[in-house]
C-alpha cells in the first residue's frame, strides 16, 4: 500500500470514535431549532435519523408522539430543510414507528445493547429519548463513556 493511501486509512480510523461520541448541533441550525425543538426535550441531533424520517416527523407535528408540536408553516419548513440537510444517509440510522423514533434505529439499539432493559423504565430515565438522564453532557452534544450519569452503568463499558 502506498504511504498516501495508508495515511488516509489511518485518518479514517481516527475519525470514527470522534463521530461516535460527539454529536454537536450543526452550525447551520436556525435559532428556532433550539427554541422550538428543544423546549420539551433535548434538540435531537439531526444525524440520528434519515431524510425521509425527518420529513415524516415534520409532516405531522400536530400528532407528535402524543403531543402537539405544531408550528407556523414558515418555521416548519425552515426546520425541516435544516434537519433534511443534516440527516444521515446510513440505513442503520433509519427510525421506526409513526412518526419514526431515533431510539428505535438499528444504530441506537446496537450502541445501547448493554443497557439493562429495566433501566429504560427506571424513574430517573422514563424513556430512551431522555438522553441527558444518562449522558450528563448530552446538552453539549457529548456522549463519552466517562460522562455516563447513572453509577450502575458507568463501569459497564
Q: How far apart are CA 124 and CA 89, in angstroms?
A: 33
Of the candidate spans 8-16, 60-68, 85-93, the one that interacts with ligand HEC by CB under 6 A turns out to be 60-68
ω into residue 99 within 30 of 0, thus cis?
yes
Cβ distance to ligand HEC smaller for residue 86 or 135 = 135
d(CA 86, CA 82): 6
CA distance 44 to 37: 8
**What's the min distance (Å) between Cβ of 90 and ligand HEC?**
13
**Is residue 47 at the binding interface for ligand HEC, with CB under 6 A as the rule?**
no
The cell numbers describing 11, all together, are: 485518518
Interface residues with ligand HEC (CB under 6 A)?
Answer: 20-21, 23, 36-37, 39-41, 44, 48, 57, 64-65, 67, 69, 79, 101-103, 111-112, 114-115, 119-120, 125, 127-131, 133-135, 143-145, 148, 153, 157
Amino acid at each position: 500500500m502506498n504511504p498516501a493511501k495508508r495515511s488516509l486509512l489511518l485518518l479514517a480510523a481516527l475519525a470514527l470514535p470522534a463521530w461516535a461520541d460527539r454529536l454537536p448541533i450543526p452550525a447551520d441550525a436556525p435559532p428556532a431549532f433550539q427554541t422550538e425543538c428543544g423546549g420539551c426535550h433535548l434538540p435531537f441531533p439531526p444525524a440520528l435519523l434519515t431524510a425521509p424520517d425527518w420529513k415524516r416527523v415534520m409532516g405531522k407535528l400536530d400528532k407528535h408522539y402524543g403531543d402537539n408540536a405544531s408550528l407556523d408553516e414558515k418555521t416548519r419548513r425552515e426546520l425541516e430543510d435544516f434537519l433534511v440537510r443534516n440527516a444521515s444517509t446510513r440505513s442503520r440510522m433509519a427510525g421506526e414507528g409513526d412518526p419514526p423514533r431515533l431510539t428505535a434505529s438499528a444504530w441506537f439499539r446496537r450502541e445501547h445493547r448493554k443497557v439493562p432493559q429495566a433501566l429504560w423504565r427506571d424513574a430517573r430515565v422514563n424513556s430512551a429519548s431522555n438522553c441527558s438522564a444518562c449522558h450528563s453532557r448530552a446538552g453539549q452534544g457529548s456522549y463519552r463513556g466517562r460522562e455516563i450519569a447513572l453509577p450502575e452503568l458507568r463501569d459497564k463499558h
